Structure 1
Amino acid sequence: MNEEQRLQSVQVKGPEPDRKVEKDYSKYFQSVYMPPSLKDAKKRGKEQVSYHKDFSIDEEFRNMGVGRKFYIRTYGCQMNEHDTEVMAGIFMELGYKPTDTAQDADVILLNTCAIRENAENKVFGELGHLKQLKTENPDLLLGVCGCMSQEESVVSKILKTYSHVDLIFGTHNIHRLPNILHEAYMSKEMVVEVWSKEGDVIENLPKSRLRKTKAWVNIMYGCDKFCTYCIVPYTRGKERSRRPEDIISEVRHLAAQGYKEIMLLGQNVNAYGKDIEDLNYRLGDLMDDLRHIDIPRIRFTTSHPRDFDDHLIEVLAKKGNLVEHIHLPVQSGSNDILKIMARKYTREHFLELVAKIRAAIPDVSLSTDIIVGYPNETEEQFEETLSLYREVGFEMAYTYIYSPREGTPAAKMKDNVPLEVKKDRLQRLNAVVNELSFEALKPYEGQVVEVLVEGESKRNPDVLAGYTRKNKLVNFRGPKSAIGQLVNVQITEVKSWSMNGEMVEVVNLEVKV
């Protein structure tokens, strides 16, 4: 550990067996944290990203996990799921074995999400439940990682209330997991290692893929957009793009392993490449290169309307293995609310972008994110969101009631829309979402669709489930050998959010996406 890293790592000491934590935590956080600050974060410069391709497990840690099991519970987005795959890969390199139950584990990690208060409350509730396991097994290591760990207030609460936690580390410290585990074992102290340092990209990290059909591939990290409601720029840091050759190599390797679908991940995925000053290469260029790899489907999430350029649209229109589904979060249909959110586009700009996409890809399926009940949102402004949703013709949406997140600019605004009004607006919005979803699925009835079979249905093990290129859920009966394969399914019934069908062998029928 170099001097900079040492200063950004802290161990909280206390007597055994009931550790007492000092009440004044500020001295720990001075070196560990850069508290969320919009003013400071917006000063992010163009400092060069450091790339590290030499990740390896130190020999002194190589057999640390032999005879031990690990369990990771993941909250939040696909980025968190992918982080879990990386941590699982590191655990297995250390000799640990995975387990499906916390009761059977020697190390438990909660990989956390900070995007909404409800997500944090779930984690705190789980920490309370896990105290009994720690009491029964004092050798158990209990850790908290992920986005919540990047928030000073969260770590303060853990130090004060959950002293049975053994280790806390942040989103920039995943590659340090062997060292952090070693410190936790050797010191018998609470280990807190959360870096506010940004700008590094670590390659060659081991991964234990959660799925065998679809794979997530990070192409960039962080976000520089600073929407007023969002904590991500503070918990995930500045935008940092991976080098294209590393991404292409990873996708080629996954294709060789038989994966059928790749999801490219980034907090603001279509800002890819903006930070690589020595290379004029953006998401459209990357997608164009990946288009030539022998893998059936490639998609990406999550995009921002401000960075959706004409070249990307031109490339997506070439189709092939580039699917006809785009997730394009709009958040609101009101210019006034979009301005308060600091989205930096207008309703008119968004509609113009949609028109460009539809002109190039007439059969495109669009989905979105929407927040209702934002501070100062009037009934008229909410109605603008409803009208935008219909005008665009979104086929699916993730909808949310606004709740303030500590550390964001919006948290300082007066949350002046009553909860009953927020709930009413959400219900009315969801009615429109359900209506348009059903309308989008209705034409599929009687048609044959290509389905990538993911596994058994969650509700019925005798039924298989998978998705079309446009990300439509299809349930059907078929042999278990179809799991992981692309099959043709004739749709027999359409519901609001899914379709039922029958697997067919006929391949010369018109197949819809």
Structure 2
Amino acid sequence: MKKKIDVPIEESIRQKQIMDKLSVYIKGKKLKYHLSTFGCQMNAHDSEKLKGILEEIGYEATDQESDADFVIYNTCCVRENAELKVYGRLGSLKHNKKNNPNMLIALCGCMMQQDAVISKIKQTYRHVDILFGTHNLYKLAELIQTRLDTGKMVIDIWDNHKEIVEDLPSIRKFDFKASVNIMFGCNNFCTYCIVPYVRGRERSRKPEDILKEIQELVADGVVEITLLGQNVNSYGKSLDKPMSFAALIQAIEKIEGLKRIRFMTSHPKDLSDELIDVIRTSKKLSDHIHLPFQSGSTRLLQKMNRRYTKEQYLELVRKIKEANPNVALTTDIIVGFPGETEEDFEETLDVVRQVMFDNAFTFIYSKRTGTPAATMEGQVPEEVTKERFNRLCDLMNEVAAKRSGLKVGQVEDVLVEQVNRQDDSLVTGRISSNHIVHLKGTKVLIGKIVPVTIVENKTYYLLGESIQQA
């Protein structure tokens, strides 16, 4: 049964006490964990916290799922394919568990917030040990302890969550850049999207907690942070003392040692003139804004409950480009939304041509049970959708090549992230506009911001030459 629980202020202390207790049992046993993340950057950031808890109690990471004593899937339900992958992999884990009877399997994330999914797992995948959702991931150690104490499947799913538990351990992918949740949930209820139903209503973190976390990250060597939320532009509305997203960025910008600030995702209806002023004046805000438009048809935007028109979106883009002529705009686009006509689709192509996006996440509409769009009339035939999708991709490739081509000959600051996976004589990083750049170098450059001349355009990545010695 789902429940709603208000988490007390002392909850983070209680969870740390549980971790300390559990670590006495886990540490020294050389137990390994494997965590798979499906879905968005919010899920990826949640997984950093899950890793932090697991390693705090004594588990060691392994890249091989077959070697793991604890397997956890952080799931996504935005698209059906992600759910099918989870079910497929759960089936294969049954064999692993027979070979290692003490292995534990946990599922969390958006899929678990759906009653039908919980019912299916209870009936079909009884080898799963722990199920929890999006609101209580900080309870992982407690849930493990409960499973070890009872020997029974543990199900802990909450409908909603108002309090935010701070100061839990986290394992970052990079030492020099990090993501920071500034809010959770969503109030927009786009008709195709299940996120508000599984992540709950908007809840903003207190600005002092956000600033404290970023200050600690910078003290630990972080030079770039990405502010995360389903709709960062509506940050602060749920606070006792409301604070705008623009004001939060201005406060973050004052943190010494922080070099770059990124954010995602922005909802066009809430991107304010105040934020555009910050885009114009900020010295640390990156030259990149992700601004989903989903469809160029105002008629379809109304059916999607997006609450802006094609013309309003284009005017917003004009203001942003006027504020920062170097800005790179990326977007999300849905093809084949119910009722989409050829004329509607041509409106989408028109927006792409006018805006000249640097990149786009393009999606074929995926029907999600429980959303209003799933029962709408006029579901577009698959063959029509695929043909339109291919045309959109062809146009985006053309537009992206033109946009990235403008970088050739420019000197850009690259934050080097890693040794190139295909060629270890190269390193890979990103410039302020979020374009990926490959250049000659060694691992000593990782974490550094180096000036680079862009010498070649490969559409979705660039080649550069460092103008200083490694």
Same fold (TM over 0.5): yes
State the AA in 1 paired with 2:2. Answer: V
Partner residue in 2 for 1:63:
24
1:502 and 1:357 map into 2 onto residues whose CA distance is 30
> Distance in 1 between the 2:3 and 2:84 partners?
22
Q: Which residue of 2 aligns with 1:289?
A: 251
Alignment coverage as a number of residue pairs: 464
Whether the 8 Å CA contact 2:419–2:442 is kept in 1: the answer is: no
Gaps of 5+ in 2: none
AA in 1 matched with 2:17: I
Letter in 2 for 1:160: Q
Per the TM alignment, residue 314 of structure 1 is displaced from its structure 2 partner at its CA by 0.7
Shift of 1:63: 2.1
Correspondence for 1:418 among 359, 381, 393: 381
- 2:183 and 2:435 mapped to 1: Cα distance? 27
Query: 2:22·2:141 contact (CA, 8 Å) conserved in 1?
Result: yes
- Shift of residue 336 of structure 1? 0.8
Residue aligning to 2:349:
386
Deviation per residue, 1:268-311 (Å, 9 max, x gap): 111110111x3131110010011112211110011101110111
Normalised by the size of structure 2, how large is the TM-score?
0.95
Using a 3 Å threshold, how does the CA distance of structure 1 residues 214 and 474 change in structure 2: closer, same or farther?
Answer: same
Instruction: Give the conservation status (yes or no) of the 8 Å contact 1:401–1:422.
Output: yes
SS of 1:247's equivalent in the other structure is helix
Q: How many angstroms apart in 1 are the aligned matches of 2:58 and 2:47?
A: 17
Please give the per-residue CA displacement for 1:373-397, whole angstroms capped at 9, x wherever unaligned: 0000000000000001111221110
Q: Which amino acid aligns with 1:451?
A: V
Tell me, yes or no, if the aligned pair for 1:113 and 1:120 is still in contact at 8 Å.
Answer: yes
SS in 1 for 2:52: helix
Q: Does 1:313 align with 2:273?
A: no
What is aligned with 1:325?
Answer: 288
Mapped partners of 1:459, 1:200: distance in 2:
44
Q: Output the amino acid matched with 2:310.
A: R
Residue 428 of structure 1: aligned partner:
391
Residue 53 of structure 1 and its aligned partner are, at CA, apart by 6.9
Deviations 1:439-476 (A, max 9, x none): 11112222221111110223222221111000001111
2:261/2:285 contact within 8 Å kept? yes
Q: Which among 123, 137, 142 is matched to residue 160 of structure 1?
A: 123
Which of these residues, 488, 491, 502, is aligned with residue 451 of structure 2?
Answer: 488
Aligned equivalent of 2:370, options 407, 413, 419: 407
Aligned equivalents of 2:10, 2:114: Cα separation in 1: 26
Tell me if structure 2 keeps the 8 A contact 1:57–1:178.
no
Deviations 1:314-339 (A, max 9, x none): 11211311111100000000011101
1:189 aligns with 2:162: no
Q: Match for residue 322 of structure 2?
A: 359
Q: Distance in 2 between matches of 1:64 and 1:127?
A: 27
Question: What is the letter of the counterpart of residue 69 of structure 1?
Answer: K
1:143 is matched with 106
Deviation at 1:198, TM superposition (A): 2.3
Determine the C-alpha separation between the residues in 1 that align with 2:84 and 2:17. 34
Counterpart residue number, 2:230: 267
Cα pair 2:455 2:463 within 8 Å, conserved: yes
CA offsets 1:22-73 (integer angstroms, 9 cap, x no match)? xxxxxxxxx3269xxxxxxxxxxxxx99766744233533424212222111
Distance 1:174 1:349 in 2: 38
User: How far, CA to CA, are the matches of 2:35 and 2:443 in structure 1?
Assistant: 28
* Amino acid in the other structure paired with 2:299: D
Query: What is the percentage of aligned positions where both structures have the same residue?
Result: 46
Where does residue 43 of structure 2 map in the other structure?
A: 80
Q: Secondary structure at the match of 2:276?
A: helix
Which amino acid counterpart does residue 226 of structure 2 have in structure 1?
M
Cα offset for 1:219?
0.4
Q: What secondary structure does 2:187 align onto?
A: coil
* 2:11 is aligned with 1:32: no
Secondary structure at 1:142 match in 2 = strand
The CA RMSD over aligned residues, in Å, is 1.9
Q: 1:218 to 1:119 in 2, by over 3 A?
A: same
CA contact (8 A) 1:492 1:500 kept: yes
Whether contact under 8 Å (2:426, 2:442) holds in the other structure is no
Distance 2:79 2:462 in 1: 31
CA distances 1:137-174 after superposition (whole Å, capped 9, x unpaired): 11100111111111111111111211111111111121
Q: Secondary structure at the match of 1:63?
A: helix
Local SS of the residue matching 1:80: helix
Q: Which aligned pairs between 1:195-214 and structure 2 lie closer than 5 A?
A: 195-214=158-177
Cα-to-partner distance string for 1:327-355 (whole Å, 9 max, x where unaligned): 00000000111011010111111112112
- Tell me how far apart the structure 2 counterparts of residues 63 and 115 of structure 1 sit (CA, whole Å): 38
Aligned to 1:350: 313
Structure 1 window deviating more from structure 2 (50-59 vs 70-79): it is 50-59
Normalised by the length of structure 1, the TM-score is 0.87
Question: Which of 218, 241, 249 is 1:279 aligned to?
Answer: 241
Gaps of 5+ in 1: 1-30, 35-47, 507-513
Paired with 2:70 and 2:122, the residues of 1 have a C-alpha distance of 19
Amino acid at match of 1:150: Q
Q: Does 1:371 find its partner at 2:341? A: no
Q: Deviations over 1:375-429 (max 9, x none)?
A: 0000000000000111122111000000101111111123621111111111111
What is the CA-CA distance between 1:498 and the residue it aligns to?
0.8
Q: CA deviation at 1:250?
A: 0.9
State how far apart, in whole Å, the 2-side matches of 1:98 and 1:118 are.
26
Letter in 2 for 1:61: L
Query: Separation in 2 of the partners of 1:296 and 1:95?
Result: 34
